[in-house]
Amino acid sequence: MLALAAAALLPAAAADAAKPAFKPDLAKAQTLAQPCMACHTADGSRGAPANPILQGQHADYLFKQLGEFKSGKRKNPVMQGMVASLSEDDMRHLAAFYAGKNAKPGFAKSKDTVKLGEALYRGGNMSSKLPACSGCHGPGGAGIPAQYPRLAGQHADYAEAQLTAFRNGGRANGPMMAAIAAKMSEREIKAVADYMAGLR
């Protein structure tokens, strides 16, 4: 039985191996990105604090988020409308376009909470069993492609809104982050979001 099952899988595996690697078309991506500029600026850099900085984000992560907006797994009426007509290749082109930009550094704004933000990011909170952010997103906030986004330099307002959405169930496409954010107070969310904005 096992041999038959393995034999049945061979043609599919061979087809995947023969499939050429995706090659992004950055000229096409620039055209596709035209509607994105209103919220994310021409190169995905430091636009309005309520919108995420896309510049320098991992292509795999961006592609995953676009796909989840399209499928409805991640809810946002504006983004769901923006991606509705995009093909899978379109989303890969866009993800590569923004990932290929050099991210500009940000900065923390609150001197009062930077120590708390650093402590939470680097060491978590043992009393509430909150894990350190750096465990998944790296000590410098570089993240891990596909799974964990780059957080270094991200707008504090946006990061705070996303952590709050994970905590209150408004964002359901990250069960692990929902469980982590549920352990955080509003003050902790504000502190760590502001600290991440200044990570280099």
pLDDT tens per residue across span 111-126: 999 999 999 999 999 9
Q: What is the pLDDT of residues 69-126, one digit of tens each?
A: 999 999 999 999 999 999 999 999 999 999 999 988 999 999 999 999 999 999 999 9
Sign of the C-alpha dihedral, residues 189, 134, 62, 27? Answer: positive
Classify residue 156 as left (phi > 0), alpha (psi -120 to 50) or beta.
Answer: alpha
What's the confidence (pLDDT) of residue 21? Answer: 87
Class of domain 114-197: mainly alpha
Question: 36: which DSSP letter?
Answer: G
Name the residue ranges covered by the structural domains of the chain. Answer: 25-99, 114-197
CATH number of 25-99: 1.10.760.10
pTM over 0.95: no
Q: What are the tokens at 112?
A: 């009062």
Q: What are the tokens at 191?
A: 């502190």
Q: 3-state DSSP call for residue 189?
A: helix
Question: 179: which DSSP letter?
Answer: H
